[in-house]
Every structure is written in C-alpha cells, then in structure tokens.
Amino acid sequence: MTQLIYVNTDNVSGTENGLTIATGWVDMSDAIADVVTSSPFTEDVIIHASGATSDTSTPDFTGYNVNGFSLEVIGDYSGFGWNASEYKIVSTNNGELSVNTDVILKNIQCENTGTNNTRWPLQTSLSATEFARFENSIFRITGTGGTSAKAVDNADPTVIHQRIWVNCTFVNPFNYAFETGGSIDGGDVLYNCNAHDSSQGFRNLSQQAILKNCLSDSNTTDWSGGGAFTGSVTNLSSDGTAYGTSPILNATLTFEDSANQDYRLVVGDTDAIGAATDLSADSIFAFNYDAAGNTRSSWDIGAHEYQGVGDTTPPTFSVAPAVSSVTSTGGTATATIGETGDIYYVVVADGATAPTPAEVIAGTGSGGSGEIDSGSALAGTVLSDTFTGLTGNTAYDVYFIARDDEGSPNVQASVTKVDITTQSATITINTDLISGTIDGVLFDGPLESSSTVLIDIDGETMNGSGQLVVDLNAVSVTNSQALEGIGKDRVTGDPIPLQGTVSIA
C-alpha cells in the first residue's frame, strides 16, 4: 500500500493517480507534520505538491524512521525554465528546504530570495544510514548580496548511502552553483546536471564527487576544486575547466531561453547533443529520462535531451503585413501570424539591399526595427508596433519575417516587403479663418496667426503662384487634408473663399 498526501498551495482539490483528493495541505511543512505522526513507516509515502502560490513554509525533512519503506515528494514542475505557475519553495531563510533523512525529491523548484550574505535554497546533511535522491529539479538564488551563498549546501555525505542528483539545474549569480566538500569518495553523484550564471559552476573541493554528463556554462569558472572522482566522464564546460574522462571543453551552446533559465538544447548545440555517456545501465543509478520526462535516446549532455526539430514548416502570415498611419517620421507596422510564433520587422532606405531573415530578426536596418510582439504571439492575433526616427518626404522599404517560438529554427526563408513614403511634414495650421471646416470638422471663429505655409486655393492667385500664404497655429493637420472655409486676404483683408487641400511644402 501507499499513503498519498496532497499539497496544494492554492488550497484546491485535485486528482492524483486517478483518485480524487479532497482539499489537502496548503504547504509542505504541514504535510511533513502529518507524515511524522506515522513514523516509523508501515507503508510507502508519496507527497504530491502543486499550486501557483509560493510555498514559504521552509519544509524540513528530518528525523523520520522510514523503516525500509520510501518517502517520495513529487512536485508539478515541468522541468525547464523557472515557472511561476508551478509548485515552488521560496524563502529568505538559510536552507528553506532541509533534507536530513531518507527522501526522494522530484520536479521541485526551490529559490532563496534573501539578502543575507550566507544563504542557500537547499541544505542537506545525511548520516551513514540515510539516502537522498534529487531529480528533475531546479535550485537557484535570487535577490541581492550573498557572496558566501550556494545553490546547494552539502554537509559531508557517506558512500554508504549517497546523495544522487539527476537532471538537476543549479543557478547562483553570487557564488557557487553546486559545491561538494565531502571527504568520502563517491558520496555525491551528479548525473546530467546543469550549472549556470554563477561565479563557479561545479566546485568539487576534495575531488570526491562522481560527475557524469554534467554541463557547466556561462559561469566565471565552470569547474573548480581540483578534479573529480574516478568514473567521472563526458562533462562539458564553456571554458577549458571541465574534468573527468573525455571532457568537452570550450563548448559553444545557445539554449532555448537562458534569460529565463530554460536550458533546453537547440538545433545548433552540437557540442552537447549526442556527446554523453549512456547511463541506462549505470551501476550506481540507471535511468533513461531527462528533466522534462522525455526518454533519452541520443544521450545528450545536461539535464535536457534535445527533442529534434519537430515541426519543420516555417510559419506564415494569415494577414499580409502592412504599414499604416505613416507620418513624416514613422508609422505603424502591423501583421498577423498564422500560427503561434514571433514577428519581426526592419525599416531600410528605399532601394537598399534586402536584409536576410537573420538580419531582420537582429534588427539590422537604417530606420525603425524590432519584434512586433513581446513574446510568442498566438495564431490569429493582430500585432502592431509603432516606429519613428525617419526623415520626411522619403521612400523606405519595410521588411517583415515570421518564425516559430523564440529560439526555434523554423524561420521564413524570405522576407516580405512593404513600400512606404513618409509625409513631407506634420504641421499645425491657422489661417485668419472666419469659419469653415478641415476634413469636415467645423471651426467657427478666427484663429490667431503664426508661421506660414502654402495652401492650394481653388484658382485664386494670391502670391503669383496659385497659392495663398496662410498662417499656422492651432489645428493639427497633415498633408493632403481637405480644407474649406472663409479666410482673409493678407494684403487687402477682404474675405476669400478657401477650398482645396493642405499642401505642405
């Protein structure tokens, strides 16, 4: 038998393993208290955790008598990036998640947001008879400060019962991503784990930890501490520091969205794809899945197995791109994508060499450019972006490109061109008008004079060129707007009928 305990930080009921669970505990600490009352165990215990609300209860797995059974904690984390809508343990405490007993943790997000110098999201300390395994989880430090912080703080493990880390990610901008300072050979075992954006990625102080297929990228130093224990193999670094047998050094990787800690491999990450050791029959811990639950086949380095190109068809525009509301300095770029993805545009001088799709995405142009949407746009969504900085009375070419979600290789092979010509100027008009309309808008009082512009008048020659000198001020108009009304001759003061269009010189 298995005892199921349900945690939902949003305090709603749910379904687990086909069973409808009534409203359960709202945080992990309360659930743990429930488990303690049944110690020593008489059956396996599984705690299911979900909910978008952060769990700030600082759960502490200490002091259980597992009694030969198992304690397993399973979150709803999808396995890549940091996802605010999935279960997460968040606190400012030192070690808001403490593991000092037999436990298996899967699919957990754990974050320390404190500002104190010494802090860590996860703290572990195991005795010689205890075992812990962490899978498909992410541990990170945010906030400010913390020069002595660690994403994971490990007390000395023993080889009798190891700490095993599988498909886990560690991030700490202030110090070490993962540090093991054990004195027992093989006490920590890390398989297909990631370390990113830290001062040091994997720090193996006593060269005791076994690391296989681990990936360290974009750290000040990717690997430190002197080396790894016998058996460490096919580890990767973006510098020359990875250790163990057959290391991959000075690798160049891209990832899906590293800014949001989505470290899935993409099509160009050939240094990591297919370069790992197959651990499906490993003598310490055999597995064949990645952090998102995908089956490993090519065996890639890091927590995420590359899933192939999948959909290879570039997106299309369901409504042709256009530029509207053109003024003397810019306009509004508009497009509708036919499937979920991203739309980019760039403005270049008329007749200039057409940019490539990559140049449009990079925003290489002489005028406005950018990504129309602020993320992946849903299919059928009408998107627009206003650009400025152009010169009046000038022809430009506006090029559009669409691609699948951010980082996808599916990009349109050719760009879509839209021609525009900016207006000569945008002005404010004021004649000594007595009454009349501008584009049908009525005005019924004289307007005071200011600077001048030439306006075409119905055959009236007031300045020898078929145009009337008119003063400007209060009403905003643009080129080619219709004007009709009564004005005053600048020389005689006589009333003059005005009928024509605004002509901006």
pLDDT the model gives residue 263: 93
Architecture of domain 317-421: Sandwich (2.60)
- Give residue for tokens 């899906």: 256
Domain ranges of the chain: 2-213, 317-421, 426-501
pLDDT the model gives residue 192: 97
The amino acid that residue 443 corresponds to is F
What gap in Å lies between CA 197 and CA 216, rounded to an integer? 9
The DSSP letter of residue 505 is: -
Q: Which two tokens stand for residue 73?
A: 């904690």
pLDDT the model gives residue 151: 64
Pairing label, strands 495-501, 441-443: unpaired
Return per-residue pLDDT of the chain as tens, 505 residues. 788 888 888 876 555 444 445 556 888 988 888 777 777 888 888 888 988 899 998 888 877 778 788 889 999 998 888 988 899 999 887 766 777 678 899 999 988 888 776 666 676 766 656 678 999 999 898 877 666 776 676 655 554 557 888 999 998 888 888 887 665 666 788 999 999 988 888 887 667 788 999 999 998 998 887 777 788 999 999 999 998 999 999 999 988 888 888 999 988 889 999 999 999 999 999 999 999 999 998 899 999 999 875 566 788 888 889 998 887 778 888 888 777 678 888 898 888 888 888 888 877 654 545 555 534 445 566 778 888 888 777 899 999 988 876 555 678 888 999 999 887 644 434 344 444 444 444 444 433 333 344 444 433 334 433 344 444 333 455 556 666 666 655 455 566 666 556 554 4
For 382, how many CA atoms within 13 A lie in the half-sphere containing its CB?
6
What gap in Å lies between CA 192 and CA 244, rounded to an integer? 14
Q: What is the torsion angle, in degrees rounded to the nearest 10, for the CA atoms of residue 445, residue 448, residue 454 and residue 460?
A: 50
The DSSP letter of residue 82 is: -
pLDDT the model gives residue 59: 86
CB 471 within 8 A of CB 451: yes
What gap in Å lies between CA 478 and CA 503, rounded to an integer? 9
* Residue 132 CB contacts under 8 Å (≥ 6 apart), including other chains: 99, 101, 102, 103, 104, 105, 124, 126, 161, 163, 164
CB 366 within 8 A of CB 399: no
E-assigned strand segments in 213-295: 215-217, 221-224, 236-237
CA quadruple 20, 23, 29, 35: dihedral sign? negative
C-beta atoms surrounding 293 within 10 Å: 12
E-assigned strand segments in 240-287: none
pLDDT the model gives residue 454: 42
Total number of residues shown for the chain:
505
- Identify the three-state secondary structure at position 62: strand
What gap in Å lies between CA 258 and CA 196, rounded to an integer? 9
Residue of 229, 216, 206 lying closest to 284 (CA atoms): 229
Rg of the chain (C-alpha set): 33
Q: CA separation (Å) from 435 to 116, 141, 443?
A: 71, 69, 6
C-beta atoms surrounding 29 within 10 Å: 17
For 237, how many CA atoms within 13 A lie in the half-sphere containing its CB?
22
CB 95 within 8 A of CB 118: no
The DSSP letter of residue 55 is: B
For residue 487, give the H/E element and its range: strand 482-488
Bridge partners (DSSP) of residue 49 are 7
pLDDT the model gives residue 215: 96
* Residue 291 CB contacts under 8 Å (≥ 6 apart), including other chains: 79, 80, 136, 167, 168, 169, 192, 303, 304
